[in-house]
Amino acid sequence: MESISKMQRENGYTKEATLQNMAKRELANGLDKDPIYKLRLQCFSRGATGILGLSRAFRVMDDDGSQTLSPEEFKKGISDVGLDVTDSEVAEMFARFDADGSGNINMTEFLDKLRPPMNESRLNIIEKAFDKMDVNEDGQITESDLTNLYSVKDHPKYLSGEMTKSEILREFLKNFEAGAPNPDGVVTKEEFINYYSTISASIDNDAYFDLVMRRAYNL
Ligand SMILES: [Ca+2]
Ligand SMILES: [Ca+2]
Ligand SMILES: [Ca+2]
């Protein structure tokens, strides 16, 4: 069976520099004028790494710590990241982010629009990996799903006695919970997809992305 330290290596696959360079290149060519697309590139080009970086951008914009963005917070945040857009473009972006029309943007809405889009085949392989991890099929991945699925035997911190099996599994799950203000050790499908969306963005080739996922999850 796959070992957890190998899984961590594979999951550490996000080529942060690649993503940053790609974002800078695409910003420079200026072909796509969609403001949300530009906001995503702006975040990546400023060194936001992966989904964690995007969720951090949300927390920075959330001045009053309400875990939602008001129109004012959003507008200020957009100008702080250096995105050059008109007031009407900001209003249009806000409306697109605020999918439920509540008048503010929550983290789920924010990441749903800001995460790099993926095609059907990439989504499918990610969902397959999720389903494999969700051993008890309750729609979320927790420590109990992983306990028989992955071995920690060759994990350096397990070998050194620094961490217990349970601690290693919980730390592993935390990777996927970057968007959650308080990681609870429960990984939803949405968190899992968000996580892989930024890894996906750093890999151009569909077949190669497929291979990376199949290797990581023994699919
Ligand atoms: Ca707020
Ligand atoms: Ca909303
Ligand atoms: Ca489960």
**39-55 burial: b if 16+ Cβ within 10 Å, else e:** bbbbbbbeebbbbbbbb
148 in helix, strand or coil? coil
Give pLDDT, residue 10. Answer: 54
Are 106 and 128 members of one domain?
no
Q: Residue 186 Cα, ligand 3 centroid: separation in angstroms?
A: 8
CB 51 within 8 A of CB 115: yes
Strands 140-141, 68-69: pairing kind? unpaired
141 plus 213 within the same structural domain = yes
What single DSSP character describes residue 165?
H
Residues 81, 144: one domain?
Answer: no
* Residue 132 alpha carbon to ligand 3 centre in Å: 10
Would you state the pLDDT for residue 1?
Answer: 42
Query: Is the pLDDT confidence value at 7 over 80?
Result: no
Q: Is 162 in the same domain as 102?
A: no
Q: In terms of domains, do 56 and 8 share one? A: no
Query: To the nearest whole percent, how much of the chain has pLDDT over 70?
Result: 89
Q: How far is the CA of 158 from the centre of ligand 2 (A)?
A: 43
> What spacing in Å lies between the alpha carbon of 144 and ligand 1's midpoint?
35
Q: Is 110 left (phi over 0), alpha (psi -120 to 50) or beta?
A: alpha
Question: What is the spatial distance between Cα 26 and Cα 119, in angstroms, rounded to a whole number?
Answer: 19
How far, in Å, is the centroid of ligand 1 from the Cα of 65? 5
CATH no. for residue 77?
A: 1.10.238.10
Which pLDDT does position 15 carry in this prediction? 57
Q: What is the pTM of this model?
A: 0.78
Q: Are residues 66 and 138 in the same domain?
A: no
139 and 195 together in one domain:
yes
Tell me, in angstroms, the distance from the centre of ligand 1 to residue 68's CA: 4
Ligand nearest, relative to CA of residue 72: 1
**Boundary residue ending a domain (114, 144, 175):** 114
Please provide the distance, in angstroms rounded to a whole number, between the alpha carbons at the two ends of the chain: 12
CA of 70, nearest ligand number = 1
Ligand showing the shortest atom-to-Cα distance for residue 65? 1
Give yes or no: residues 149 and 90 share one domain: no
Q: In the 3-class helix/strand/coil scheme, how is 40-90 assigned residue by residue?
A: HHHHHHCCCCHHHHHHHHHHHHCCCCCCEECHHHHHHHHHHCCCCCCHHHH
Find the 164 Cα to ligand 3 centroid distance in Å.
Answer: 21
Say whether both 203 and 134 belong to one domain.
Answer: yes
**Per-residue pLDDT averaged across 100-112, rounded?**
94
Number of domains, the chain = 2
Count CB neighbours of 170 within 10 A: 16
Q: Which ligand is nearest to the CA of 108?
A: 2
Q: Which ligand is nearest to the CA of 104?
A: 2
Give the helix, strand, coil percentages of the chain, each rounded to 5: 60, 5, 35
pLDDT tens-digit readout, 150-203: 888 989 999 999 999 999 999 889 888 865 667 788 999 999 999 899 888 888
By C-alpha distance, which of 178, 196, 179 is closest to 133? Answer: 196
Residue 13 clears pLDDT 60, i.e. is over it = no
Based on the fold, state whether residues 170 and 79 are members of the same structural domain: no
Last residue of a domain, one of 62, 82, 114: 114
Would you tell me how many other CB atoms lie within 10 Å of the CB of residue 127?
A: 14
Q: How far is the CA of 40 from the centre of ligand 3 (A)?
A: 31
Rounded distance from Cα 70 to ligand 2 centre (Å): 9
Share of the chain above pLDDT 90, in %: 52
Report CA(115)–ligand 2 centroid distance (Å).
17
Q: What is the pLDDT of residues 24-74, one digit of tens each?
A: 888 888 766 789 999 998 888 887 777 888 888 999 999 999 999 999 999
Q: What is the pLDDT of residue 110?
A: 94
What is the spatial distance between Cα 41 and Cα 22, in angstroms, rounded to a whole number?
8
- 97 and 173 together in one domain: no
Q: Which of 86, 114, 142 is the last residue of a domain?
A: 114
Domain of residue 208 covers 4-13+118-217
- Asked if residue 174 and residue 144 are part of one domain, the reply reads yes
Are 209 and 125 in contact by the 8 Å Cβ rule? The answer is yes
